[in-house]
Amino acid sequence: MFVDKAKIYIRAGRGGNGAVSFHREKYVAAGGPDGGDGGRGGSVVFEVDPNLSTLVDFRFKKKYVAEDGQPGGAKRCSGKGGRDLVIKVPKGTLVRDFETGRLLADLSGTEPVVLAVGGRGGAGNQHFATATRQIPRFAKPGKPGEEFTLSLELKLLADVGLVGFPNVGKSTLISVVSAAKPQIANYHFTTLTPVLGVVKIDEGKSFVMADIPGLIEGASDGVGLGHDFLRHVERCRLIVHVVDVSGSEGRDPKEDFAIINRELANFSEELAERPQIVAANKCDLASAEQIAEFRAFVEGRGYALFEISAATTQGARELVDRVAAELDTLPPIREFEAQPITEAERQANETRPQEFEITQEDGAYFVEADFLEDILMTANMEDYESLQYFQRVLRSSGVIAQLEKMGIQEGDTVCIGGFEFDFVK
């Protein structure tokens, strides 16, 4: 099954919580805090697998979560970092943020790309000891990892794209000039998925040709199969436009040529300007007058024309040689300019105000905030210094200011993640 679009959710691992621990050793009094730091969460990494040619795996699995970091331990031992999650994709996959449409990566090379960075581990209580606070009974929780909903889109990497109406002989041509074995039959839309073939010229020299499923009028608007597969022509350096010059199906080859070029232009103006060679196929079935008339039409518009018969291999070698010579003058396969998330953006996300929601019910104030629940897990609420630390977090995050804005009075009850306390100004 050929699948070239997918939507998935990824989440990097959460950092491990810092540990609250105190040194215990015989003959060592007041050993002091020695809680270790939590390990960093695993990141989500995308990597090209040359053996893959479709995104079908993402149709059945849509959620990918990296391993969390381990919590810190005693004796200043840091927690183990979470393992990175490596996601394999076919070469030519574009990764976009589903919400914004921002292109995060173009996986056309061999280098892996980190899409979601794991959260930092929390600091253990060893870091909070001061001259006046010698027994800190709190630590910092680990940071959550980045998470995204992504859209994946495969745009095949091919040097040459074969375009044309259905049943004009594209599949036969690619089977003749390469080792590709597409389905070939005398009816429309025998090719339902793009077919790639490697065309060898000399020892160590070759190029990749893609047979794009047949286009028809209205393809750029979603008619037929063209709307699904026009995207695969976008990377091609050269277009070979195959036309049935014999008009064996009752169509006018000149009109076919104009319609396909119009559909390419409607889909992308850049495609309309792509170098193009015209292959006048089925010359063995056409008259000399038909070929001469079509040649004058094509060459009058500035295109080179080659007379071929894919079924008998007539002219195929000459066409391939011209394509190879043309490719030598063209720039490499197009790579789309990605806008990966920068370190500055990541730092800005870490320092942005924490989100919380406060509701009032029966005289009590309920605060919903994930970051506060994490702090409650790493602090001892029966310890005075821990309470002071927790109060500083409430003030710095804006929770106290919002409670006062809502009219909270001294003695009112505040509930945070199952922890209740009376508000004191």
pLDDT > 50? residue 325: yes
* In 245-317, beta strands by DSSP E: 276-281, 304-307
Average pLDDT score, the chain: 87
Q: pLDDT-based confidence at 214, cuts 50/70/90?
A: low
Q: How far apart are CA 10 and CA 163, in angstroms?
A: 36
* Structure token digits, residue 206: 């070759």
pLDDT > 60? residue 227: no
Q: For the residues 344-363, what does the mean pLDDT come to?
A: 84
- How much is the pLDDT for 193? 65
3-state secondary structure (DSSP) of residue 266:
helix
Q: pLDDT for 383-395, tens place per residue?
A: 888 888 888 889 9
- How much is the pLDDT for 65? 97
pLDDT > 70? residue 184: no
* CB of 191 closer than 8 Å to CB of 228: no
Q: 242-251, 274-283, 297-306 — which is least confidently predicted?
A: 242-251
Superfamily of domain 160-327: P-loop containing nucleotide triphosphate hydrolases (3.40.50.300)
Q: 189-193, 232-236, 263-267, 378-382 — which is least confidently predicted?
A: 189-193
pLDDT > 50? residue 53: yes
Location of each CATH 3.40.50.300 domain in the chain: 160-327
- How much is the pLDDT for 215? 62
pLDDT > 50? residue 287: yes
Phi and psi at 253, nearest 5°, equal -60, -35
- How much is the pLDDT for 152? 96
pLDDT > 80? residue 216: no
Phi and psi at 389, nearest 5°, equal -60, -45
Q: 175-184, 352-361, 384-393, 394-403 — which is least confidently predicted?
A: 175-184
pLDDT > 80? residue 135: yes
Q: For the residues 97-114, what does the mean pLDDT come to?
A: 94
- How much is the pLDDT for 221? 47
Nearest to 117 by CA among 339, 350, 336: 350
Nearest to 217 by CA among 158, 273, 155, 260: 260
Location of each CATH 2.70.210.12 domain in the chain: 1-156
Q: For the residues 59-71, what does the mean pLDDT come to?
A: 95
Location of each CATH 3.30.300.350 domain in the chain: 353-422
pLDDT > 60? residue 179: yes
Percent of the chain with pLDDT over 70: 92
Q: Structurally, what CATH architecture does the domain formed by 1-156 represent?
A: Distorted Sandwich (2.70)
Beta bridge partners, 114, equal 45
Q: Structurally, what CATH architecture does the domain formed by 353-422 represent?
A: 2-Layer Sandwich (3.30)
* CB of 403 closer than 8 Å to CB of 365: yes
Q: For the residues 90-112, what does the mean pLDDT come to?
A: 94
pLDDT > 80? residue 343: yes
- How much is the pLDDT for 223? 41
- How much is the pLDDT for 415? 92
pLDDT > 90? residue 308: yes
Nearest to 149 by CA among 341, 340, 6, 9: 9
- How much is the pLDDT for 171? 85
pLDDT > 70? residue 108: yes
Percent of the chain with pLDDT over 90: 50
